[in-house]
């Protein structure tokens, strides 16, 4: 079902846009993102919520509060569609019609399952290091109270599809190609700014290597 849906909604329309079915490439897109949009149906109404996520092999992990209605709904087995989109650039075509954006996206269809308590430390290590590589070894670990307040969900990467647009504009007509109009694309790059220390941080604590490494 999910595969049919996604192939239908994500079918390739023209050359610079292409469906991606290679799992390694889909996983690379998931590994490059930080935010996933979780869609589910609540009382016949669609709801789309942004969440943090991390890929863990053949699944993604989500974490939230045990008091969250969203997490309780997902843990109860609601069908979901989880989408990650990375914006890579603006495409300036000679025509308004062919103006576009470069992006990479992955859709995941399925259901979440609740991870048991014994995997919560491992999951939070993955979340922490996904935000800042090697950060886990520096931070204070979870207390039992924090563990009890945290729900970790797993969504299998079984029914997934992707779509990628790369490169320049799709102008094809000779009459367009002969126009004296600049065409090309402008990459969009996300960069980290300088770390900003917390207001209540002691002056004698230096920025750690993990955060210096973020470029």
Tokens of 80: 């979901």
Nearest-approach distance from CB 111 to its own copies, in angstroms: 11
Min CB(158)–its own copies separation in Å: 15
CB burial readout 176-187, b (16+ within 10 A) else e: beeeeeebebee
124 strand-pairing partners: none
Query: Would you say 9 or 77 has its CB closer to its own copies?
Result: 9
Beta carbon nearer to its own copies, 118 or 140: 140
At closest approach, how far in Å is the CB of 11 from its own copies? 9
CB of 59 to its own copies, least distance (A): 18
Q: Which of 13, 168, 172, 195 is nearest to 102 (CA)?
A: 168
Task: Give the DSSP H/E element, type plus range, for residue 9.
Answer: helix 2-9
First to last CA, the chain: 41
Nearer to its own copies, 57 or 215 (CB): 215
Least spacing, CB of residue 125 vs its own copies, in Å = 8
**Closer residue to its own copies in complex, CB, 116/192:** 192
Alpha-carbon torsion, ordered 149, 115, 56, 36, to 10 deg? -60
DSSP one-letter code for 118: G
| Token pair recorded at residue 47 | 């709801």
116 vs 200, which CB is nearer to its own copies? Answer: 200
């Amino acid at each position: 079902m999910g595969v049919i849906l996604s192939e239908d909604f994500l079918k390739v329309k023209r050359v610079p846009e292409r469906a991606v079915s290679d799992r390694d490439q889909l996983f690379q897109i998931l590994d490059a993102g930080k935010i996933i949009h979780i869609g589910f149906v609540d009382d016949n109404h669609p709801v789309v919520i942004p969440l943090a996520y991390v890929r863990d092999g053949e699944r993604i992990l989500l974490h939230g509060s045990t008091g969250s209605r969203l997490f309780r709904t997902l843990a109860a087995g609601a069908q979901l569609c989880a989408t990650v989109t990375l914006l890579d650039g603006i495409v300036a075509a000679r025509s308004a019609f062919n103006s576009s954006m470069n992006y990479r996206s992955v859709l995941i269809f399925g259901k979440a399952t609740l991870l048991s308590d014994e995997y919560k430390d491992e999951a939070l290590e993955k979340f922490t290091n996904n935000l800042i590589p090697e950060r886990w070894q520096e931070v204070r670990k979870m207390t039992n109270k924090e563990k009890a307040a945290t729900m970790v969900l797993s969504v299998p990467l079984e029914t997934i599809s992707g779509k990628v647009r790369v490169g320049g504009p799709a102008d094809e007509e000779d009459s367009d190609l002969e126009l004296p109009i600049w065409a090309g694309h402008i990459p969009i790059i996300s960069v980290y700014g300088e770390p900003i220390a917390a207001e209540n941080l002691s002056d004698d604590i230096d920025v750690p290597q993990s955060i210096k490494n973020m470029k």
